[in-house]
Amino acid sequence: MGLDRRGFVKFVVGGVAGTLFTPVIWKGMDDAAKWSQNWGWIPRLPKGERKAVPALSKLCKSGCAVKVQTVGGAPFAALGNPDNPMSKGGVCPICAGSVQLMYSPARVAGPLKKVGEGKYSPIKWEEAEAMLVEKLTPLKGQDGKIAAISGDETGTANEVLSALLAGLGNASGYCAMPGEMLTATRGVKLMGGAGQPGFDIEGADFVLMIGADALDSWGASVANQKAFAASHPTGEAATARFVYAGPALNNTSGVCDQFVAVPPTATGVFALALANALISVGATCSAPDFADYKALAAKCTPEVFEKATGLKAEVLKDLAGKIKAAKAPLVIPGASFGQGSGALDFVAGASLNVLLGRVGQKGGMTLLPAAPKALSAAADRAEAKDAGSFMAQVATGKAAPAALIVYEANPAYALPQAGDMTKALGNIAFKVAFATYMDETASLADLVLPAPHPYERFDDAMNPYGVAKPTYLAGKPVLAKPVVDAKDPVDVLLAAAGKLGLSLGFETYADVIKAKAKAVGADMDTLTGGAAWTGEPKGGSLSLGAAALAKAPAPKADDKAVALAPLSKLACGTTELACPPADLLTIRDTELKGKDLFVQMNAATAKKLGVAEGNKIKLTGGSGEVKALVHVNEGVAAGTVAMLMGFGHSAWDQYTKGKGDNIFKILTVSDEAGTGMKVWAGSTVTVAKI
């Protein structure tokens, strides 16, 4: 049976088993067209009882509570868990294909030791663990010599990692990959508050998302989608209005009631200009810095707004009128996967909630208290160093760690100026990567330790970013043992701590999670497999952040450059995970053609740059460059080029490696005034026709 692309799509859509119920996609489209020939490599499910096992998948940023479908104990699919109060049975496109990712050819099959440039030799776990202890032992007590980068925003594993560093005298080396949670928590601090912000989308009747791709790649997207769907019942009038203000049409704006095209360099101006419009129609508040805030907002006149955004000032008047008419308006600031927007952009957007009196109210912005710790010596997640800033210091020699532990992160791929980050990693003598898949960072490590897939280990998620109430989810292994020779990274670190003369109080990660559940007042027995415990958010007062916003630089005009907008689609992967093969068919022909990625821009921007549909171009930013094709799309903001994230991998598997280019190579970094963070949401690039 021969299948062309359209026929294959019809086959997959009509018979979901092709992508969601077997790992056959790993064999490629050629083999998929030959299923009827009963090839021997096709997995055969054992006979036995069919079960639905609750589990927690953390392949996506927020983590999905799922029910893994098994036959005779063998998983074959993952469906949403209807018992979970957040997802209510929904599942994201990554976690929908999570079972297939257990069998990915990109998985690290066992411990690996680097024996040459790009060459690795398999070793036993005993040798690998001894090597880890051997490399860390002489660095004990030398602050600055051991560092760790974590890409896990929600797991208690971070407590173990930070407590280990503190016990080894290297507390300052604990770093977190850039993300919305780290940025927003620092933004709240600039507003005189404390805690992680949450957003009650379900209770709002008007939701303005400023850059926050809340129905796809921002926050607890599945829960957000459920809230949106509930407010837009089929065949009935909508009970809430959703507006997306961002640089390009995406999966969120595609279903919203209104799309406002705002360049990524102008989100702060947009928010303050909207504040000015709201104040002009009577908005006021009791915040102590209201007078200073009002003066700042007044500088964002309609003329300033039009120049910065390319939009007409009537847009502000229209939005201000709709917000004023709403009973429970909510503003959500954010960025694609929380990438590079900076704390000041968060403050600019969040201050609108303070201005409108929407903090701590139903359908408003909430403040979640810091979660109780399982390990008293652990650092708060908000205290972690920004990995982008840390690696920039490594690149310049201002930081000189001798050893780096990488946990669930891919800094070689997902930090701005990715080429420079790869070189910076070369400055560190010993790098150990705890990795489920052989990604770009693992490919540079001296020791690669395979981590179990989410369905092969204990794990948890505390307060996924965006949730309006404190939420804890926990999961345990679905399988009795991993399908590869993997060990839980936390178990390995706890064992290493003991050999280094440091007692962290636990022997296994399972014990840590039980202690965490107890600390938050939850019963671990009822949490098994991703059920949720929820408490109530605490109240808290916030200022408008006027002092911080006064330090924000004004947008700069540059006739030779255009704004660069990272465009995210969860189906294309995350900063840690490449596009799952089950989602490859969701990529449009106007997004990827063969190995060439498209860059999107509107017709006016294309004319200004002297390019047209299908032209091949080179985009340059900082020391990096990427090549792509032009797609003219009127859904892109003025003076902006939009590029999909998640492509340009140099590692992983044959289905993702070498496809398109990596936008992180051309994102340019600047120091954010008053926060010390590295930001790149305002990146600009030059474009040249090839």
Q: Is the pLDDT of residue 518 over 50?
A: yes
- Least confident range of 83-92, 506-515, 546-555: 546-555
Tell me the residue ranges of DSSP E strands in 81-195: 112-116, 119-122, 146-150, 174-176
- pLDDT per residue over 523-565, tens digit each? 766 554 444 555 666 656 899 999 999 988 776 666 678 999 9
Q: In this predicted structure, what is the pLDDT of residue 534?
A: 59
Q: In this predicted structure, what is the pLDDT of residue 233?
A: 94
Q: How confident is the model at residue 206 (pLDDT cuts 50, 70, 90)?
A: very high
Kindly state the average pLDDT of the residues 384-390.
91
Q: State whether residue 304 is helix, strand or coil.
A: helix
Q: In this predicted structure, what is the pLDDT of residue 682?
A: 86
Q: How confident is the model at residue 241 (pLDDT cuts 50, 70, 90)?
A: very high
Q: State whether residue 418 is helix, strand or coil.
A: helix
Q: Which residue has the tokens 């990524």?
A: 264
Average pLDDT value for the chain: 90
Tokens at 254, concatenated:
């595609």
Residues 510, 134: Cα–Cα separation, whole Å: 26
Kindly state the average pLDDT of the residues 22-28.
40
Whole-number percent of the chain with pLDDT over 90: 78
- pLDDT per residue over 423-463, tens digit each? 999 999 999 999 999 999 999 999 999 999 999 999 999 99
- Least confident range of 4-8, 89-93, 363-367: 4-8
- pLDDT per residue over 159-192, tens digit each? 999 999 999 999 999 999 998 998 999 999 999 9
Side by side, which strands form the sheet with 112-116?
A: 119-122, 112-116, 447-450, 430-435, 403-407, 146-150, 174-176, 385-386
Q: In this predicted structure, what is the pLDDT of residue 14?
A: 33
Q: Residues 407, 148: contact at Cβ < 8 Å?
A: yes
Report which of residues 329 and 2 the model is more confident about.
329
Whole-angstrom CA distances from 291 to 296, 317, 335, 350 are 9, 22, 29, 17
- Least confident range of 32-46, 74-88, 119-133: 32-46
Kindly state the average pLDDT of the residues 46-70.
92
Q: Is the pLDDT of residue 32 over 50?
A: no
Q: Is the pLDDT of residue 255 over 50?
A: yes
Tokens at 102, concatenated:
């257990």
CA atoms in the 13 A half-sphere facing the CB of 87: 29
Q: SS3 sequence, 330-383?
A: EEEECCHHHCCCHHHHHHHHHHHHHHCCCECCCCCEEEECCCCCCCCCCCCHHH
Q: Is the pLDDT of residue 10 over 60?
A: no
Q: Which residue has the tokens 């022997």?
A: 507
Residues 476, 472: Cα–Cα separation, whole Å: 14
Kindly state the average pLDDT of the residues 643-650.
95
Closest to 327 (Cα-Cα) out of 292, 361, 373: 361
Kindly state the average pLDDT of the residues 603-631.
97
Q: In this predicted structure, what is the pLDDT of residue 369?
A: 86
Residues 620, 683: Cα–Cα separation, whole Å: 11
Q: In this predicted structure, what is the pLDDT of residue 209?
A: 98
Residues 6+ apart with CB under 8 A from 344: 187, 190, 268, 548, 549, 551, 552, 672, 673, 674, 675
Domains plus CATH for the chain?
5-101 (2.20.25.90), 113-180+385-534 (3.40.50.740), 196-368 (3.40.228.10), 556-689 (2.40.40.20)
Q: Is the pLDDT of residue 124 over 80?
A: yes
Q: In this predicted structure, what is the pLDDT of residue 45?
A: 63
Q: Residues 60, 92: contact at Cβ < 8 Å?
A: yes
Report which of residues 134 and 45 the model is more confident about.
134
Q: In this predicted structure, what is the pLDDT of residue 26?
A: 40
